[in-house]
Amino acid sequence: MEREKLQVTRQQEQASTAPTKTRQVMAAAALEKGTACAVGPVPFKDVGGDGEEDQKLISPPEEYTNIISALPSTTWLDQRVLRQYQGSWLHHQMVPGVISVQRRFTARPDDVLLVSPPKCGTTWLKALSFATMARAAYPPSGTDHPLLRLNPHDCVPFVEVLFSAGQEARLEALPSPRLLHTHMHHSLLPPSLARCKIVYVCREPKDMVVSIWHFAKSIMPAGGIAFSFSDLYESACQGKHLHGPIWDHVLGYWSASKASPERVLFLRYEEMLLNPVSTVRNLARFLGMPFTAAEEAAGTPIHIAELCSIDTMRGLETNNTGAAGVLAKFPHGSFFRKGVVGDWVNHMTPEMARRINAIVEDKLRGSGLSFTP
């Protein structure tokens, strides 16, 4: 017990930059439970603020210029320029950030990294992970839970975006344990980050494409869309899309999870939807924070799943007003649409579905992973 209290004390000291009320709540919960895992992550926005004064892309370091200018490029959607860096297609503004992460970021031993391709359950994974890790300081049934006043993206920072904006110091201000997020391929992670606990979520590729399409439309000004769903579909089939190719993204983390299941938890969006409470329990066990008998009796896993459900999240005022982001601001409401499986049937012809299924099946052949029966 004394050892555990000492660990809690160290974590409280690390959290000295967090708001006083937050630290008091965390400390009280930790000491009451007497558990080493009682103090979890604090909301990023509560510590790092908005970074409003720095919301612009800084000029990349001079030594990056030659690297970036020599990279293959393509246009995507509304004439956005993508650069192919070490096999991954990145928005050209993000390349300096990814390089900086690789060269300058040093993970802490207790960092937890959430990873996803775009529009594959990122917002939900952030909410579930934050609520699970921080449940002692912030009971999921509490009326003052951070997720009731903050969008999940305000709770969990996006690593390469902060580096692209020159705001990596905001990450250092976060007390441990830190809960972080990236869209980077596994092959792009710096060694220290690749050794962290990683929670990865992927989604059926056809539904991913449809979700990207609706998200892009939702953030564009009226009449500002200069691309079609067919254009987006074609880029996905070619692997030339944001953070693509999707098959390389998925295979990197799938292989890592098979090689080190204690380090990489591989989740599938469709399975999470089938049993979100089971997902919460699995997540807690993986993070070394399994639910106690008392927590199970109190319904804590169920409360977390309910708090983080798309229906709950979508109904909150904070997720219907305001915006999240550093380099660009995205309306909170744009992160919550249907959240269902199989919406691709409303956008793709049978031939389109067969084609992308065949491509993905071929790319995944021999891996033991598949998305279609």
Q: For the chain, state the CA radius of gyration.
A: 20
Q: Which of 91, 183, 249, 347 is catalytic?
A: 183
Q: Is 40 exposed, middle or buried (0-12, 13-18, 19+ CB in 10 A)?
A: buried
How far is residue 286 CA from its own chain's centroid? Answer: 17
Kind and range of the H or E run holding 47: helix 44-48
Which of 114, 72, 371 minimizes the C-alpha distance to 246? 371
- Determine the Cα–Cα distance for residues 123 and 126; give it in Å rounded to an integer: 5
- Is position 241 annotated as part of the catalytic site? no
147, 213 contact by CB (below 8 A): no
| Strand runs labelled E in 118-231 | 179-182, 197-202
128, 181 contact by CB (below 8 A): no
SS3 266: strand
Identity at 246, one-letter amino acid code: I
How far is residue 31 CA from its own chain's centroid? Answer: 30
- Determine the Cα–Cα distance for residues 357 and 146; give it in Å rounded to an integer: 40
What number of residues does the chain have?
Answer: 373
First to last CA, the chain: 51
- Determine the Cα–Cα distance for residues 185 and 139; give it in Å rounded to an integer: 33
Query: What is the DSSP code (8-state) at residue 113?
Result: E
CB atoms within 10 A of CB 321: 11
Tell me which residues are annotated as active site. 183
